[in-house]
Structure 1
Amino acid sequence: MVAVSSWGRLSREEHELRFLSDAAPVAAQLRAEMPGLAHGLGRSYGDVCLNPGGVLWQTAALDRFIAFDAASGRLRCEAGMRLRDIQRVAIARGWMLPVTPGTQMVTVGGAIANDVHGKNHHVLGSFGDHVRRLWLARTDGSIIECGPDLAPEWFAATVGGLGLTGVITQAEIQLRPVPGPWLDTETIPYADLDEFFALADASETDWEYTVSWIDCLSGRGRGLFMRANAAAAQARAVPARHERTMPLTPPVSLVNGLSLRLFNTAYFRIHQDDGRALAHYEDFFYPLDKLLEWNRMYGPKGFYQYQSVVPRAAGRDATQAMLGEIARSGDGSFLAVLKTFGERAAPGMLSFPRAGVTLALDFPNHGARTHKLFARLDAIVREAGGRIYMAKDARMPRDLFEQGYPRLGEFLPYRDPRISSALSRRLMGW
């Protein structure tokens, strides 16, 4: 038994690890191990990737390319392949993943199981929108091949299905053509939420990527709106990637009321005049990947991430109410993110993205004090008819989960009876 934690480092609980390294016999291995759960790189913040007291099937060694058609951009690979490795190989050949989250240190299987989204949902939707086939190993020894046009009900249950329908062993993904690794970017400061929504609406037609940093302690909701498009091919060298590692876990969280106010004030002032620029895709998409093990800065008690989405009609008032509660609490995040989702149908029964406004923040774990703040935020999300992102969640109440995911009853028949997680036991009963 080995102690395993998720990215939030809220706990370290014992698991029995089983390493999968060859996709061919995976189904037979699953049949011999129960109950279990697929585990990739462990970058989920909460308990969706944990199975305390049970088996974790480690999939990171299932990391091989199987086939790539350079003419069509169709890629088939094993589910443990990292998004970073796909990006670096594909971009050199004129292709890119259409959708990626805020870190590229994620496996393909994890990206599908959580139906991750990026900064271009209003244009290209979520990760699952670009999966054409996946192969699912079940604990009864069977393999299910499915896609949007093949066994579509299995596909819809597995995309965003939290790893509960089986173990994804392979996937076929449609990449998108790009002229190179560069983006034309623009950063625009805004004073309040009214200006944010005006910028978001004005940018949807002409800009593919939109996202904003928001000062969660400012009260009014000031921030920096960032937008980008693919740039024409550039005759310039790709900059060297300088990565640093958080060397240790401090005895207390480095994120506190004083450090937050100092950082947020300085960050806004430094970047408010950035304007137009040419940026490498890794710098724009994955700024946190420059500091490896950054989650250590929250100290030994770890941290929570709270990410919600609320319908657009309630978006301004709900976001303002949440920011008010956060400002009064004195807690919050260095990199609070506010963005909008487009009017697109989700590919998965339990996919998180929906048309509306999403706010994501990290919070140091202060025990009961933090949970009281979350209860107040939950009440705002509940009243607005929103939902919480399960890939980030470690404490959502069951009633808010059931309200936020109305297709739960449709999903449950596709669960594998021998697969379970801490999250599924907390929110689904098993």
Structure 2
Amino acid sequence: MKDLSGWGRYPRLFGPLTTARTAASAARLTAAAPGVVARGLGRAYGDAAIGREHTLAPAGLDRLQGFNPDTGLLQAEAGVSLNDILTNLVPRGFFPPVVPGTRFVTVGGMIASDVHGKNQHNDGTFGEHVEALSLALPDGRTIRCARDENPELFHATIGGMGLTGTILDASFRLRRVETGWIRQTTSVAENLSEAIALLGRTSGATYTVAWIDVLARGAALGRSLILEGEHAARDELGPRQAQFPPARTGRVGVPFDMPGGLLNARTVSAFNALYYRKGARRAGRTTLVPWDSYFFPLDGIARWNRIYGPRGFVQHQCVIPEARAEAVLSAILDRLSQTGTGSFLAVLKRLRAGTGLMSFPMDGLTLALDIPVSERGLALLAEIDGLVSAAGGRLYLAKDACQSRDTFEAGYPNIAAFREVRRDAGALGHMSSKQSERLGL
């Protein structure tokens, strides 16, 4: 029995884990084990990558199968990590079309979660760049899925949380870049209204994200730093700057669980105030930042999830439709500041609708929070879920650890169609995670 908890370490779950070394064995194990779901590197935050009865790790499916530098088309097995892709192809002048907040995820996981990044408002989700994938079905068959081949299953697999079958490989195109540096410009928003307005005015930037101080109060409620980013050209580098700086190794880490009370209103408020002042001093300035620290700031700290102590944390990410976004986000931030429930890893982004049947993004604004697990914290999240649901929003399944079935069903209008595709593929009841069991999916 293995500890199969997600990255948030809540809920704490244990179960059998079977490793597949080849695509054939992954297909065979998928068919043989009802109540199964695939698990990559364990970076889903809650219980999405833990099988109801069996969990399948495609650890042996870790080969880059082919790359065409003329077109940027990459063929990779599902167990290939984003880190391997970046390590191999950034020095050759190529960058993935979309990356999430960590490079320690697999190709299969990025498709199943239909991950999004700082460029979602312009370039969509990762799934929109997938051209084809191979899927192992519960009846033992392996089929190819694309927009013109098994299209219903293709669109259900993107964002389908591994519930249509086991992804074996995929092809997608990378973008050309001249350097491994990002030209970053920092702007300051003194409150939530300004932050939302700035995200709108900077929507022409390739990458844009806001760090938001969730404990600021009064006139400063929602004060933020907005970070725009563009891939830097070679002629922008200084004489001593390497064209493609290497990624950090993450040797600095958290060696043990921090005391549960370390992250409290006082410590988080002090950190947020310091971070805001430091960022404000850079307002209006443009600097060159290495690609890994711009996209994956926490990957430089190994096992950073231990900061939240042995009880773990919930990463809560919601999206609110544009018309209701400011009012609902203000209400959420007000509750966080009033209760002193701080998150120093809070980000605000603008999204556009995704294309997968169960994709998370919709036209609106998304807020991501890290909340330490406690009775008060979980009660607050349930209250926030009610605000999100009433506004017509929804929660990201890759981050979800505790939403109710009612909240889920209110937020995802395509559930019935998704179940129908699963039924036709023989996956309904066979492909099943602890999350899908909890949500009745």
Unpaired runs of 5+ in structure 2?
none
Q: By how many angstroms is 1:414 displaced?
A: 2.5
Q: Structure 1 residues 50 and 239, CA, compared in 2 at 3 Å: closer, same or farther? A: closer
Query: Which residue of structure 2 aligns with residue 83 of structure 1?
Result: 82
Q: By how many angstroms is 1:178 displaced?
A: 1.3
Q: Does 1:335 align with 2:336?
A: no
Q: Decide whether the 8 Å contact of 1:325 with 1:376 is kept in 2.
A: no
Aligned partner of residue 245 in structure 1, secondary structure = coil
Amino acid of the structure 2 residue aligned with 1:209: Y
Query: Which residue of structure 1 aligns with residue 366 of structure 2?
Result: 358
Give the whole-Å Cα distance in 1 for the aligned partners of 2:359 and 2:28.
29
Give the whole-Å Cα distance in 1 for the aligned partners of 2:59 and 2:29.
16
CA-to-partner distance for each residue in 1:295-319, whole Å, 9 max, x for gaps?
Answer: 0011111011111001111111111
Which residue of 296, 302, 311 maps to 1:292? 302
Q: Does 1:408 align with 2:421?
A: no
Query: Which residue of structure 1 aligns with residue 317 of structure 2?
Result: 307
Query: Which residue of structure 2 aligns with residue 318 of structure 1?
Result: 328
Q: Decide whether the 8 Å contact of 2:30 with 2:137 is kept in 1.
A: yes
Query: Which residue of structure 2 aligns with residue 279 of structure 1?
Result: 289
Aligned partner of residue 270 in structure 1, secondary structure = helix
CA-to-partner distance for each residue in 1:58-112, whole Å, 9 max, x for gaps?
Answer: 1233110111111100000100111111112121222110101010100010000
Residues 236-251 of structure 1: pairs in structure 2 closer than 5 A = 236-237=241-242, 238=245, 241=248, 243=250, 244-251=252-259
Q: Which shifted more, 157-166 or 271-280?
A: 271-280
Give the whole-Å Cα distance in 2 for the aligned partners of 1:103 and 1:240.
12
Name the TM-score, length of structure 2 as normaliser: 0.93
> What percentage of aligned pairs have identical amino acids?
42
Query: Which residue of structure 1 aligns with residue 125 of structure 2?
Result: 126
CA-to-partner distance for each residue in 1:352-389, whole Å, 9 max, x for gaps?
Answer: 0111000000001112x122211221121122110011
Q: By how many angstroms is 1:126 displaced?
A: 0.3
RMSD over equivalenced CA pairs, Å: 1.4
CA-to-partner distance for each residue in 1:200-221, whole Å, 9 max, x for gaps?
Answer: 111112x110001100000211
Q: Does 1:8 align with 2:18?
A: no
Aligned partner of residue 49 in structure 2, secondary structure = coil
Query: Which residue of structure 1 aligns with residue 197 of structure 2?
Result: 198
Q: Structure 1 residues 11 and 375, CA, compared in 2 at 3 Å: closer, same or farther? A: closer
Query: Which residue of structure 2 aligns with residue 173 of structure 1?
Result: 172
CA-to-partner distance for each residue in 1:249-306, whole Å, 9 max, x for gaps?
Answer: 1242421111111111111112211221011111100001011110001111101111
Aligned length: 424
Q: Decide whether the 8 Å contact of 2:31 with 2:138 is kept in 1.
A: yes
Residues 133-172 of structure 1: pairs in structure 2 closer than 5 A = 133-172=132-171
Q: Does 1:65 align with 2:61?
A: no
Q: By how many angstroms is 1:242 displaced?
A: 5.2
Q: By how many angstroms is 1:230 displaced?
A: 1.1
Q: Structure 1 residues 281 and 240, CA, compared in 2 at 3 Å: closer, same or farther? A: closer
Name the TM-score, length of structure 1 as normaliser: 0.96
Q: Decide whether the 8 Å contact of 1:253 with 1:297 is kept in 2.
A: no
Give the whole-Å Cα distance in 1 for the aligned partners of 2:117 and 2:130.
15
Give the whole-Å Cα distance in 1 for the aligned partners of 2:359 and 2:270.
36
Give the whole-Å Cα distance in 2 for the aligned partners of 1:60 and 1:337.
31
Q: Decide whether the 8 Å contact of 2:26 with 2:58 is kept in 1.
A: no
Aligned partner of residue 41 in structure 1, secondary structure = coil
Query: Which residue of structure 1 aligns with residue 223 of structure 2?
Result: 222
Amino acid of the structure 1 residue aligned with 2:264: N
Query: Which residue of structure 2 aligns with residue 103 of structure 1?
Result: 102
Query: Which residue of structure 2 aligns with residue 28 of structure 1?
Result: 28
Q: Structure 1 residues 130 and 253, CA, compared in 2 at 3 Å: closer, same or farther? A: farther
Q: Decide whether the 8 Å contact of 2:51 with 2:434 is kept in 1.
A: yes
Query: Which residue of structure 2 aligns with residue 42 of structure 1?
Result: 42
Give the whole-Å Cα distance in 1 for the aligned partners of 2:128 and 2:187.
30
